[in-house]
Amino acid sequence: MSAKIIQRNTKRMKKVKVDSVTIDIIESALRSARYEMDTVLFRTAMSPGIREQHDEFPMIANLEGKMVVGQFGSFINSFIEGYDGTIEEGDIFMTSDPYSVNGAVSHANDWLLLMPVYKGGRLIAWSAMFGHMTDIGGKVPGSLPTDARQIYEEGICVPPIKIYKGGQLQEDVLKVILHNCRLPMWNLSDFNAIVAALKTAGIRCVELSTRFGDDVFYSAMDAMLERNKRAMRELILRTVPEKKQYFEDYVCDDGMGMGPYKIACTMWREGEKCIFDFAGTDPQSVGAINFLLNDEMFKMFAGVYMIMVFDPQILFNDGFYDLMDVRIPAGTLLKPLKPAALSCRTHALGRIFDILGGLLGQGNPAFMCAAGFSDSPHIMYSGYRSTGEWYQLFQIGFGGIPGKPFGDGPDGHSLWPSFTNVPNEFLESYFPLRIETYETIADSGGPGKNRGGNALRVGYRFLEPGEISIHDDRWLTYPWGVNGGLPGTRSRKLLTRADGSEEQIPAKCDRIKVEAGDLLYFDTWGGGGCGDPLEREPERVAFDVDAGLVTVDGARRYGVVVGLDAVVDLAATTALRAKMAKERGAVKLFDRGFESIDELKGRCLAETALPAPRQPKFNRRGKAA
């Protein structure tokens, strides 16, 4: 069943002709309203994940639920289809259950709120936003248990409900939800901040509709969607070949000793429609790395990726969705069946962007990007201070962004373009730790004509006893290079105890006990290189050496000979490059850093000081056994 929309004003909206200047004014105003939603949230939320790192995603949609401005694409249709009830003026809906909304949110830490925007008793638009809550209960602080086997172990999971009815907050319902969280005050503050952001967007939509008229407001939004569709149609026809392109990549492990897990996708064009088929992806995991990938969300990922690579002038929205067909087999890692655990889906989520890079560039290698989006690493640190006060940190780490056809990848940068780092001063003020190291790792970005971004190293000195959890990937497989570019380095986590002993700890782990004085080096991965490193201008390599991004020895991977003063020896460089080109032969379209998974596993312990994961064994129902 689907929701029933109740309106007092039942007069239908009419499509009218709107001049381009008016469309541009309304578009600009809606974009400003979308950023105003962010501002309201950041100034009123409490959790550092939202307030400081901006782990939230706003949206304004038309009355049919199609996103006009925002980040993650519209999930309103999935919500309406999954909600059995009425939609009325003054309502605000809430859910954190991925299975109830077909993956509109992909794990229960994300609280999604949606608000229908009414004017004169008529639905004219929607505002929506979801944000990652630091804690929602469950087995471990942070609510992202690596060893969860069902979603019920991961914390409170809220089905689609009316959290506001006719403008009235359902306080008893909210109290029950907050009672199941370790940080109810943070969650309450973040919840209220999201509500305020939704209401801000609603006010702006009503103002615009009042200024221009309901029919013009509706028609302008429709024109914005149609303009995007026309642009994307041309982009697809130009860049997506009719011949099938195949690519696969891997999530290194599930945190329970098994892996890697394959994500496979085939892409081709039929007429003006782009097809993505994930047949060949491994069955769902018994652990929590499953990613319930919403079809509409993937279309947005693919569209944004294409726009940023091929034509950044296009304003993305939901207008082009009819031009894509996404096929994801049920029971796989990307379409798990309930009650599969989902809390650690961030690894597969990040890997989707590397898959897109491997697919979209094959038909047009000049536009191909390397790997390096790869993951969104987390660290959690919690316990009781000596004063008896509970503390709990959730922080997102940054890795190296891949090299691109038009430039180097940023060093130590977020996967998501709107995310920011948590200032070290903030961390040291609010949590019992000290940041002793915060730097990019020289030579960790893959060499290429355009260098992959360097990895980030953060040294956390813990000042109180507690427990840490770590969620990361790319510790086994490398972020691959393209068009002759070389892979970036892998991630690594080293814990140095106060007594001087050292241990390399897994990329996915929970309940690691730490004592005052212990030091964790949290190293992320480097981005893959793009293009032949022997074609990188020697002066650019010398600049990187002078900046500390590449070492003198690392410069030789580009065939460049420099001294400690970062001055290039041109004669030695010419000779070295000729020798390297002769020994290497033809450049590779992809360089994964290994020939086969079995060969990579054989090198694992020597290279990483961690045992290789076991190959998953799938039972008759297709789940990892």
CA distance 34 to 308: 20
Query: What domain range is 135 assigned to?
Result: 4-231
Amino acid at 431: F
Residue 396: is its pLDDT beyond 60?
yes
**pTM, to two decimals:** 0.94
- Cα separation, 92 vs 109, in Å, equals 19
Instruction: Using the predicted structure, report yes or no on whether residue 623 has a pLDDT greater than 60.
Output: no
Mean pLDDT of 311-322: 84
Q: For residue 278, what pLDDT band results from cuts at 50, 70 and 90?
A: very high
Nearest to 579 by CA among 560, 605, 551, 555: 560
The sign one gets for the Cα dihedral 605, 607, 147, 499 is positive
> Could you tell me which residues come within 8 angstroms of residue 117 by beta carbon, excluding any fewer than 6 positions away?
123, 124, 125, 126, 127, 201, 202, 205, 206
- How far from 329 is each of 27, 156, 297, 356, 503, CA to CA, in Å? 37, 28, 16, 18, 40
Confidence (pLDDT) at 620? 47
Sorting pLDDT into bands at 50, 70 and 90, what band is 400? very high
Which residues are bridge partners to 129 per DSSP? 58, 113
Q: What is the pLDDT of residue 31?
A: 94
* Share above pLDDT 70 across residues of the chain, in percent, rounded to a whole number: 98
Q: What is the CA radius of gyration of the chain?
A: 25
pLDDT in tens, 20-77: 999 999 999 999 999 999 999 999 999 999 999 999 999 999 999 999 998 766 778 7
Whether 386 maps to a domain, the answer reads: no
618, with CB counted inside 10 A (0-12, 13-18, 19+), is middle
Q: How far is CA 479 from CA 439, 523, 580, in A?
A: 20, 14, 22
Number of domains in the chain: 1
- Highest mean pLDDT range out of 182-196, 229-243, 304-318? 182-196
User: Which backbone phi and psi does 61 adopt, to 5 degrees?
Assistant: -125, 160
Least reliable range by pLDDT among 76-80, 276-280, 426-430? 76-80
Mean pLDDT value across residues 369-388: 93
Please check the confidence at residue 378 and state whether its pLDDT lies above 90. yes
pLDDT surpassing 60 at residue 553? yes
Mean pLDDT of 81-100: 91
**324 φ/ψ angles, rounded to the nearest 5 degrees:** -130, 145
Residue 564's pLDDT is what? 84
Closest residue by Cα to residue 301 from 354, 244, 233, 247: 354
In tens, the pLDDT along 105-164 reads 899 999 999 999 999 999 999 999 999 999 999 999 999 999 999 999 999 999 999 999
Tell me how far apart the alpha carbons of residues 28 and 22 are, in angstroms, rounded to a whole number. Answer: 10
Burial class (CB in 10 A: 0-12, 13-18, 19+), 407: exposed
What residue type is 28 in one-letter code?
S
Between 315-324, 382-391, 498-507, the lowest mean confidence (pLDDT) is in: 315-324
Closest CA to 343 of 104, 159, 148, 474: 148
170 within a domain of the structure (yes/no): yes
- pLDDT surpassing 50 at residue 207: yes
pLDDT at 416: 72
Contact between residue 614 and residue 620 where contact means Cβ atoms under 8 Å apart: no
Q: Is the predicted pLDDT of residue 454 greater than 90, yes or no?
A: yes
Which alpha helices (DSSP H) does 486-565 contain, by range? 538-547, 552-555
> What confidence category does residue 419 fall into, taking pLDDT thresholds of 50, 70 and 90?
confident
The verdict on residue 394 lying in a domain is no
- Strands 273-277 and 324-327, by their bridges, are parallel
Half-sphere exposure of 336 (CA within 13 A, CB side): 27
* pLDDT score, position 625: 55
Q: How far apart are CA 26 and CA 297, in angstroms?
A: 25
Contact 396, 402 (CB under 8 A): no
463 occurs within a structural domain: no
Q: Which two tokens stand for residue 36?
A: 């105003």
| Residue 621 placed within a domain | no
d(CA 61, CA 225) in angstroms, rounded, equals: 10
Is residue 82 predicted with pLDDT exceeding 80? no
